[in-house]
Amino acid sequence: MPSTASEPDRVASKGSKGPQRVATYRFAFSWEGPYGHAVKLVERYAQRGLVLDLGCGYAAVGEVLRDAGWEYVGGDRDTDAVADVVARGLEGHVIDLAMSDGLAVKLADIIEWRAVGAVLLLDIIEHLPDPFAVLRELARLSASLAADGREAPVLVTSIPNVAHFDLAAKLVGGRWDVTPSGLLDRTHLVLFTETRVDAELGRMGWQECGRDDVILEHSDQWFPIDHPFLVEGGPVHDHLRALRASADPNMKVNQFVRAYRRLQRSVPDDRISRLARHEDAVGIAPGLGVPFLSVLTRTEGTRPGRLAETLTCLASQRMEDLEVVVLVHGQAPGSVHTCEEVVDSFEESFASRVRVEQVRGDRRSAHLNAGLTLARGRYVAFLDEDELVTADWAQRFAEGAAVAPGKLIRSLSGVRRVREPAPDEGAMGASPVTLSKPVTQSGDRFTLLAHLAGSPTPLSSLALPRSLVSELHFCFDERLAAADDWDLVLRAALLVGVEETGEVTSIEQRPDDTAALTADLPEALEGARASVLAELDKSPLLLPLGSATALFRLSGGQSASTAHDSQLATLERELEKTKSALTRAKARPKKGQLVDESARVEGLLDRIDELEGRAKQAEKARDELLASEFWRATAPLRSMVSLFRGNPRATEGR
Amino acid sequence: MATALRVQTVRYGGEAPRLLRMVSSVAAAARQLQGSTSVRELTVAIGDCGGPDGPDAVLEGPVLAEAREVLERAGVSLDYVAFDTNTGHGVGQNLLAARSPGPGRTADDEVLVLANPDTYLTPKCLTMLLGALEGGTGIAEARQIPLEHPKFFDPATGETPWASGCLMALRLALFASLGGFEPAFFLHGDDVDLSWRTRFRGFLVRHVPEAAVFHDKQLSDTGLPVAGPEEEYHAMLARLMLAHRAERRDIVGWWLDWIDIEGSPLQRDAAVEYLRRHTEGVLPATYREALGVSPEAVASVTRFDEGEYAEHRF
């Protein structure tokens, strides 16, 4: 039993006899605690009549309900507690919920002809060896009351949340502090998170109709207060807290206080699907028919030929364990139908794996977010209508995910320039005119700091683990007018890291007149990036391995990189000097032309030999430096530093 | 008006699923064709150069059964021929084409579509290719995706110096009258040679951008397709033989010099093979000798650009 706003007056009673002898708590009533919240739910959702409080202990809510006009009936296996209830003028019965067989019949006998407004299970089911049997018996009771033509009661529960942040943060540090009472009461036999509450009550046909959870910023598990993971304002605490906040809204929930009604008909499909998701999430039943990859393809639905080409690339994938969701964002009449016709023109084995969905919104991020909710695969990839991929595109993602499951998978991409055909280019039809071969766009290796400095990774070369979406509600930031892809990659890389395939597998076809069309892009881009950075600044960042050295260099610290820079510059200067001396020496009169100056000519030739030797030596030293592992490994960092320093060469290079 | 269409492919090993995907794409493209053209009879012909076992084995029964089922659902018949030997591409296509026309048809009734087994046709591909085979067009060539071939074509007319054997369409009558592919080309260059001989006859070779076909190529980080060892060898040998047929000794010399300095071991092997054939007099005849065309015609049709057999756009 959790201690919350209502502190126990006394934690003792003889309790009942039996194999599991559990002390009965005597908690005071408080409107701020779970009892007060439960009473409010009764008032809000129950029909007038009897309130059956099972596992009532000393009936903390008894008088409150009675005074509010409810007919209170308490039930507990602790005879002393029941005697106390009765002595206070309340109806009480000895009921052992641990012996659930025949519970529905026993309760029906107690109820007799009376109308039942609510059944309460307040901080009790976590103490039962088989709480689900009790829920099933209550479902039977509800069904039998309904069968008699009586109103089915509302079930009101209070269940402690073992995923409260305090408890969860300490568990990361390996602590599991069982206490005499509270969230980790030593007598708790079954532990609950919201997912489990939903799943188990849903399985018995109980559908939530209201909630009034008890929120506690600091639970009884907030100790020791100087535990490193509980230090407010500390990076670890704040980072864990930010992560948890994105996962679900329950990190401050101490008790789930909720009201349920029994579904008299069969469980609806969406409920079943929620249950299936839960089972999948907890590994009970791996999702049947879940593909490895969901591909989100945006289209306006007005260029069927281009869509057909992109779909052809997907139909040609060697790794066939994928589904395609065509996201039609154009609002032109018939655009969805056009896309469906394109899909239907493909062979059945592929077309059956493609869905066409209309999505709303002006921005790419809105379309893709809609797609993320529709995706079913373990990973999600993005391929717009104007993009093409090689046959190993999906396969490389799968290989990367096999090596590093859960990481962001990154391949390389090329960009080629295209233009729309001119009116006199009749042979082209609606096809674009290709102007260049694909040029690799993204760097060979991904580094977080280089990405932060603006190095792009196109969406078509990425596969996002859908666990980020299902576990942390990850999505594109629809507030951004630009750089939404940059933001997504950055946030994903910060959370799960990046696994690289090193293969060029996608081709973006970029209109040749991009510069003219997007003259205002840099400004929008800079504004968006500033917004992204401001958002990231709100939480601590978890940087990948190797970041300390990289940050040290970035902040201007002396390092091996600086020494190499200096060494290279010296070698380059030496080489230039030697080459120029060599040129001058060679320009002088040659042997045979000035016979009487032979001695001087011999000297010059020796000088040329010497200079050539030095030039070769300097070249060799420079080449060795440039080929060194260190030099290659630090290339992205150097370009980033150059960028920050405003080096014009680096800017041109982008 | 053609009433029959025969899609031919020659395979040597490779993954069965890939061939099944290709066959499925032909089935889908055939459905589009049947509703919009005069073609009523469609066949997919697979020539199998595979051996008895190993990775280069012939197609297994279940794979063939699946291919046949997919095609039959689209009203397309399957003509599967195991050659029992590795004939190479051109000879394999010739052997398959020799099984046509079917009973009751003439070569004029039938269009051949010659396809690589590592392709996947867009649904409208066959319709577009067939539509382009009108007027003076001898060969219609599909546009390759995701890597487009860089050779020149005229965006106004589609006219192009040669058609890639990745996917091309031509009338059976023309193919037969040309004698099919030149057997001296084993894996590469036979398409260029066939295109040039088509153009010597006065026909156009036309690139059809709207007939897109996926060609399974891997992309290197330079933006060029990655060439396998067979391609490296046979492409070089084909370059030398094409230059020989066009009597461009300067091109032959240029390539031999290049190979001497920069060539890979496989390209050196190709040069040695070329020189052996030259020495033994077993190179294919020059175009002037074989076709009786004028030097001017040869110069006009067989254009080389930086050693390649056509000007490139990029």
The per-residue b/e assignment along A43-80, b for 16 or more CB within 10 angstroms, e otherwise, is eebbeebbbbbbbbbbbbbbebbbeeebbbbbbbbbbe
Q: How many Cβ pairs closer than 8 A exist between chain A and B?
A: 121
Which amino acid, residue A199? Answer: A
The pLDDT assigned to B220 comes to: 86
What is the pLDDT, as a whole number, of residue B122? 98
Q: Locate the domains of chain A by residue range.
A: 8-160+191-216+259-281, 293-544, 556-653
**Could you give phi then psi for residue A296, rounded to 5 degrees?**
-100, 120
Instruction: Provide the 3-class DSSP secondary structure of residue A328.
Output: strand
3-state secondary structure of B213: strand
Strands of the sheet containing B204-215, edge to edge, are B76-82, B41-48, B4-11, B110-115, B167-171, B137-145, B204-215, B119-121
Among B19, B121, B221, B308, the residue to mutate for chain A (most A Cβ within 10 A): B221
Mean pLDDT of A159-179: 97
Q: Which two tokens stand for residue B85?
A: 């030997």
Provide the 3-class DSSP secondary structure of residue B120: strand
Q: What is the pLDDT of residues A620-633, one digit of tens each?
A: 766 665 655 444 54
A277-286, A334-343, B79-88, B292-301: segment of lowest average pLDDT: A277-286
A427 interface with B at CB cutoff 8 Å: yes
- Amino acid letter for position A240: L
Distances (CA, A) of B283 to A303, A398, B57, B274: 49, 47, 31, 8
Planar angle of CA A558, A564, A566, nearest 5 degrees? 80
Instruction: Give the bridge partners for A261, in sequence order.
Output: A207
Report yes or no: A474 and A397 within 8 Å, Cβ to Cβ: no
Backbone φ and ψ of A190, nearest 5°: -130, 135
Sign of CA dihedral A589, A590, A593, A597: positive
Q: Which of B120, B153, B154 sits opposite A312 (nearest CB)?
A: B120
How confident is the model at residue A520, as a pLDDT?
Answer: 47
Q: Does B209 sit behind a cis peptide bond, omega within 30 degrees of 0 on the bond before it?
A: no
Instruction: Give the distance from residue A631's alpha carbon to the nearest chain B alpha carbon, in angstroms.
Output: 20
Q: Which residues of B touch A345 (CB under 8 A)?
A: 28, 31-32, 123-124
In 3D, which of A95, A211, A235 has the Cα closest to residue A161? A211
- The most confident of A3-12, A287-296, A505-514, B248-257, by mean pLDDT: B248-257
pLDDT tens column, A437-471: 888 865 678 888 888 887 678 999 999 999 999 99
The DSSP call for residue B108 is: G
**pLDDT digit string, tens, across residues A401-423:** 999 999 999 999 998 999 999 99
A423 touches chain B (CB under 8 A): no
In terms of residues, how long is chain A?
A: 654
Residue B207 φ then ψ, to 5°: -85, 135
- CA A247, CA A281: separation in Å to the nearest integer? 13
Calculate the dihedral angle through the C-alpha atoms of A606, A608, A611, A617, rounding to the nearest 10 degrees.
-90
Q: Rounded to whole angstroms, how far apart are CA atoms A466 and A137?
A: 38
- Cβ–Cβ below 8 Å for A345 and B28: yes
The average pLDDT across A561-582 equals 71
Distance CA B168, CA B144 (A): 11
Conformational region of residue A557, where left means phi above 0, alpha means psi within -120 to 50, and beta covers everything else: beta
Q: Are strands A91-94 and A71-76 parallel, antiparallel or unpaired?
A: parallel
A173 pLDDT higher than 50: yes
Q: Give the Cα separation of A539 and A94 in Å (integer).
A: 53
Query: Quick check: pTM over 0.90?
Result: no
CA dist B166 and B160 (Å) reads 15
As a whole number of angstroms, the distance between CA A358 and CA A367 comes to: 9
A293-544: what fold? Spore Coat Polysaccharide Biosynthesis Protein SpsA; Chain A (3.90.550)
Strand pairing report for A408-419 and A462-465: antiparallel
pLDDT, position A548: 87
N-terminal to C-terminal alpha carbon distance within chain B: 37
ipTM of the complex model = 0.97
Cβ atoms of A112 and A32 closer than 8 Å: no
Higher-confidence residue: A275 or A501?
Answer: A501
Q: Does A350 touch chain B (CB under 8 A)?
A: yes
d(CA B267, CA A283): 55
Q: Does A508 touch chain B (CB under 8 A)?
A: no
A205 contacts A216 by C-beta, under 8 angstroms: no
Domains of chain B: 4-215 (3.90.550.10), 229-292 (no CATH)
Is A8-160+191-216+259-281 in CATH node 3.40.50.300?
A: no
Residue A617 clears pLDDT 90, i.e. is over it:
no
User: Mean pLDDT across the stretch A297-309?
Assistant: 96
Half-sphere exposure of B232 toward its Cβ, with a 13 Å CA cutoff?
A: 12
pLDDT above 90 covers a percentage of chain A that reads 64
Instruction: Note the pLDDT tens digit of each residue in A424-441.
Output: 999 999 899 999 988 886
Predicted pLDDT at A584 = 66
Contacts of B220 in chain A (CB under 8 A): 504
Predicted local distance difference test score (pLDDT) of residue A521: 60
pLDDT greater than 50 at residue A122: yes
pLDDT attached to residue B241: 98
What is the reported pLDDT for A197?
96
Has residue A559 got a pLDDT over 80? no
How many angstroms separate the CA atoms of A236 and A43, rounded?
42
Only one residue has tokens 């919350």, namely A4
**Gap from A498 CA to chain B (nearest CA, Å):** 20
CA distance B26 to chain A (A): 9
Low-confidence ranges of chain B (pLDDT < 50): none
Q: How far apart are CA B235 and CA B223, in angstroms?
A: 19
- Residue A86 pLDDT: 97
User: What is the reported pLDDT for A6?
Assistant: 41
Considering CB atoms only, which of A347, A392, A504 is closest to B24? A347
Six-digit token pair at A398?
Answer: 């799968």
Is the pLDDT score of A221 beyond 80?
Answer: yes
**A332 touching chain B per CB within 8 A:** no
Task: Name the residue facing B123 among A346, A391, A435 (closest C-beta).
Answer: A346
Q: What is the pLDDT of residues B170-214, one digit of tens each?
A: 999 999 999 999 999 999 999 999 999 999 999 999 999 999 999
Using pLDDT thresholds of 50, 70 and 90, give the confidence band for residue A269.
Answer: very low
Distance CA B177, CA B36 (A): 28
Nearest in space to A323 (alpha carbons), one of A375, A396, A288 = A375
Q: Is A305 on the interface with B (CB under 8 A)?
A: yes
**Cβ within 8 Å of residue A108, ≥6 positions away:** A141, A144
Share of chain B residues as helix, strand and coil, in percent rounded to the nearest 5: 40, 20, 35
Matching residue, tokens 């015609």: B297
| Residues near A172 by beta carbon (within 8 Å), at least 6 away in sequence | A229, A240
Q: Which helix (H) or strand (E) holds A391?
A: none
Dist. CA A92–CA A69, nearest whole Å: 17
Amino acid code (one letter) for A187: T
SS3 B115: strand
CB A323 within 8 A of CB A377: yes
Where residue A500 falls (left for φ over 0; alpha for ψ -120 to 50; beta otherwise) is: beta
Q: How does DSSP classify residue A471?
A: H
User: What's the pLDDT band for A514 if we cut at 50, 70, 90?
Assistant: low
Beta strands in A212-267 (DSSP E): 214-215, 253-262
How many Cβ atoms sit within 10 Å of the Cβ of residue B176? 17
Residue A29's pLDDT band (cuts 50, 70, 90) = very high
Q: DSSP 3-state assignment of A575?
A: helix
Considering only CB atoms, B156 lies closest to which of A349, A426, A430, namely: A426
**SS3 call for B214:** strand
Where is average pLDDT lowest: A46-50, A297-301, A636-640?
A636-640
pLDDT band at A104 (very low <50, low <70, confident <90, very high): very high
Going by C-beta distance under 8 Å and a sequence separation of 6 or more, which residues neighbour residue B162?
B151, B191, B192, B195, B196, B205, B309, B310
Rg, C-alpha atoms of chain B: 19
- Give the max Cα distance, chain A: 138
3-class SS of residue A132? helix
Query: pLDDT at position B17, please?
Result: 94
Joined together, the tokens standing for residue B82 give 């195991």
